[in-house]
Structure 1
Amino acid sequence: MLMQFGDESALSAKSREWVQQMIKFMTEFTTGLKESGELLADEGLALAPNAKVVSIEDGAVATRDGTFTDPEQSLAGWWLVDVVDEARALELARQIVAGAGEPVAVRRCHELP
């Protein structure tokens, strides 16, 4: 799984042209994954202020606004890919970082025995 993080406060300061270029890059990147047969699923996420966290607090289930992470580096979107090896996953992550300028976490999905 490729998980893109972003600084939402910095996004509001970006120009309209930058946002359009970002959307174009993301669309082309995702289309390339579909065409190569590597894309299993993908999704962009709503902004962090719309997120909720459900957890145990003082022995009871509680819900609060926000995310687990600092909102300045919240999860912005993800791609679930089926690639030949870790090197390919890292290559894809580097493409996202080069095109979007934001960090990407790469994690293998757990395989059941």
Structure 2
Amino acid sequence: MAKYMLVLRGTDESFKQMMETPFDQMLETMGRFNEELIRAGVLVAAEGLDDPSQGVVVDFSGETPVVTDGPYGETKELFGGFYILDVASKEEAVEWAKRIPAIPGTKVEIRRVPGIDEFPQDNEWIIREREWRERTGQR
């Protein structure tokens, strides 16, 4: 099994359409899909994000970090939420992504999440992280 992050990216138009969808309808649609993921035993985490205009960006392009309000740069593809699935393969992650009840114009980026076992186990920071994970029940 491997973890994959499914990053939901919308456009200005798809974000506007989503905001026009009745909230209860959106919750039911996403809830039904989430329930499928839960029943299949593959859901690790899933979150939607607040309006991008409420966000803050810390830009490290210069000598010192610059903080600005609002969405970062172009809003052609806003990061609107994510799923983390624990599945057998990238192909299975793709199949789940194809089933997301997304609004037209949305794209889903799929990225594998490397596990802690893939890093040098004798590294001091990996040892500390593994201890933290054990203390907090993180996997």
| Change over 3 Å in CA distance of 1:70–1:56 after alignment to 2 | same
Match for residue 45 of structure 1? 49
Once the two structures are superposed, residues 54-97 of structure 1 have per-residue CA deviations (whole angstroms, 9 ceiling, x without a partner) of 1224311211123446323201110111001111100011111x
Match for residue 69 of structure 2? 65
Correspondent of 1:23 among 14, 27, 32: 27
Correspondent of 1:5 among 9, 15, 37: 9
Q: State percent identity of aligned pairs.
A: 26
Letter in 1 for 2:81: G
Letter in 1 for 2:47: E
Once the two structures are superposed, residues 1-39 of structure 1 have per-residue CA deviations (whole angstroms, 9 ceiling, x without a partner) of 01111124444356545x654432211111111121101
Gaps of 5+ in 1: none
| Change over 3 Å in CA distance of 1:36–1:65 after alignment to 2 | same
Is contact 1:8–1:47 with CA below 8 Å preserved after alignment? no
Largest Rg, 1 or 2: 2
CA drift at 1:106: 0.4
Query: Helix, strand or coil for the counterpart of 1:60?
Result: coil
Q: How many residues align?
A: 110
RMSD over aligned Cα atoms = 2.2
TM-score normalised by the chain length of structure 1: 0.80
Gaps of 5+ in 2: 120-139
| Change over 3 Å in CA distance of 1:105–1:55 after alignment to 2 | same
Please give the alpha-carbon distance, in whole angstroms, between the structure 1 residues aligned to 2:74 and 2:47. Answer: 20
Match for residue 56 of structure 1? 60
